[in-house]
Chains A and B, each alone.
Chain A
């Protein structure tokens, strides 16, 4: 029997666990088609189709899913609700399967992920039943996908310790993974910073050694899975001695409108130069370059 293909959009939720999902489905015997890296055509498709007031990140996701439409047997769009600590994902994640079922004909695979109620393993075993996979094989697939994810994360960690020893000026980039790792979306901000003689460090590379201890003193108590963690990571990053900080927000990101107030405050209190960048389909490389160069001139 020919293997069925699952399409995974290389956008939004994908970047939260970029290694886990492809590994999981491959282990279960599916072929994976990952949409290509964001490009102009994909973004334009997304911008055309998504609600004009939705955030740029959602528009990018629309583009990737439309790219997959017609090319695969299933499209994977999980319904992400809460993480293990019962903290919520952005509410725009909740309704994604419903919204895309309005516009694509390809069947959508959408496990309901509320890790506050059900462990990921149990969730996926239940989900596996729906797609005709046995409990045992699902459990094994989860296990080895976890290992894969762990392995890759370890590499990031090692890389981080190398980076912080660098004599170059270390610049923290604070943002969501789907902005940090999508180079078309962030207009290659990392490369631009490194070319200017800096060492760019993504906020999600910064470890939190003792999550409970580190998160305890963070105020306000965010109900989002990224809020407290990011603020704790910022506190830790400040300790290693950074020269500057940049926050990247997608235009119309509602969560960032809240978060920015506190991210900025942390850096300003530590007297670290701070640059706020708003990105969307209209952001021009030239403008970004100019602002980064000017920002570097303010660093000491």
Chain B
């Protein structure tokens, strides 16, 4: 069977998805990047291969996510797409009537506005982690609650307390205080979810025309407490569709399928067993002093990037 692979490598999680020629999602994977994107990609490919039957052949690859270029080099991508367009593509296919997409991942969060299945506006958090999954992770750690349990705890709350949510540092002192004056754990957890929702709407989604149907994606959308917080704050129904955590990877696969010309650049399953390394050096050619990054596969330089002038990246095979 001929299939297309989508790989979405984010700072916190890595997602892989496989579609067939009729755009059916065959298989998907979601796991932590653990600070090592190359290893994560190799691990992902290994696991994917174990899950699928032998007759499956990959004839197109798309990568996305903040490590999309690196992923593209490692896997051998036919198409490298930013995660906003990739998510829009995926959600457009699986939830065609969608108007608003809220996507909250580990360190990024974004909002995408669509009209007639076309992206007309979008925004993304720039510097602050307060509107992202990392915020919940950090607070969960401090409360001693595994973040997976947030859902069930938050849903028990009847009166979410107000927790300052500008940044993880401020929230901490506020939260400790709330604990000390006797707010229940449920109310604090639900309060954190509401704080994150408010922060997202006030900063990332500022000025955007939010209209139904609203779709909620990303790792954080697994958390029912967050979904409820968005529904309460927006006063609208929020849909968490199937494939909510792997929509970017599916979008990348769909885009690869649409755009592929000729033979795929996919390096093959053996990528997961090769020795892949990235090293960097400082170019002293000009005062920019760029940190150029080099990718090596089995000791051979396969790509260089991160130079402003193109002295090294122009040598890459096109």
Binding site for B on A (CB under 8 A): 40, 44, 47-48, 51-52, 280-284, 286-287, 290
Chain A residues positioned under 8 Å from B315 (CB to CB): none
- Does the CB pair B174–A287 fall under 8 Å? yes
Q: Shortest distance in angstroms between B111's beta carbon and chain A's nearest beta carbon?
A: 13
- Residue from B173, B203, B206 in contact with A287 in the complex, judged by beta carbons closer than 8 Å: B173
Once the chains are docked, how many angstroms separate the CA of A47 from the CA of B201? 10
- Does the CB pair B164–A282 fall under 8 Å? yes
| 10 contacting pairs across A/B (C-beta < 8 A) | A40-B162, A48-B202, A52-B206, A282-B164, A284-B173, A284-B174, A284-B177, A286-B173, A286-B174, A287-B170
- Does the CB pair B173–A282 fall under 8 Å? no
Chain A residues positioned under 8 Å from B173 (CB to CB): 284, 286-287, 290
Given contacts A48-B206, A286-B177, 16 further A-B contacts (CB under 8 A): A40-B162, A47-B202, A48-B202, A51-B206, A52-B202, A52-B203, A281-B166, A282-B166, A282-B170, A283-B170, A284-B170, A284-B173, A284-B174, A287-B170, A287-B177, A290-B173
Q: Which residue of B lies closest to A284 (CB)?
A: B174
Size category of the B interface is 10 to 19
Q: Shortest distance in angstroms between A59's beta carbon and chain B's nearest beta carbon?
A: 9
Once the chains are docked, how many angstroms separate the CA of A286 from the CA of B166? 15
| Nearest 10 interchain pairs by C-beta | A286-B177, A282-B166, A282-B164, A284-B174, A284-B164, A52-B203, A52-B206, A287-B173, A47-B202, A48-B202
Chain A residues positioned under 8 Å from B198 (CB to CB): 44
Chain A residues positioned under 8 Å from B164 (CB to CB): 282-284
- Kindly supply a per-residue 1/0 record for chain B positions 130-162, scoring 1 wherever the CB is within 8 Å of any chain A CB and 0 otherwise: 000000000000000000000000000000001
Once the chains are docked, how many angstroms separate the CA of A51 from the CA of B202? 9
- Is B165 among interface residues, defined by CB-CB distance under 8 A? yes
- Does the CB pair B201–A48 fall under 8 Å? yes
Chain A residues positioned under 8 Å from B201 (CB to CB): 48
Chain B residues positioned under 8 Å from A47 (CB to CB): 202
Q: Which residue of A lies closest to B178 (CB)?
A: A286
- Kindly supply a per-residue 1/0 record for chain B positions 250-278, scoring 1 wherever the CB is within 8 Å of any chain A CB and 0 otherwise: 00000000000000000000000000000
Once the chains are docked, how many angstroms separate the CA of A55 from the CA of B300? 53
Known: A287-B170, A287-B173, A287-B174. A282 touches B165 (CB 8 A): yes
Chain B residues positioned under 8 Å from A44 (CB to CB): 198
Chain A residues positioned under 8 Å from B165 (CB to CB): 282
Q: Shortest distance in angstroms between A256's beta carbon and chain B's nearest beta carbon?
A: 18
Q: Shortest distance in angstroms between B165's beta carbon and chain A's nearest beta carbon?
A: 6
Chain B residues positioned under 8 Å from A283 (CB to CB): 164, 170
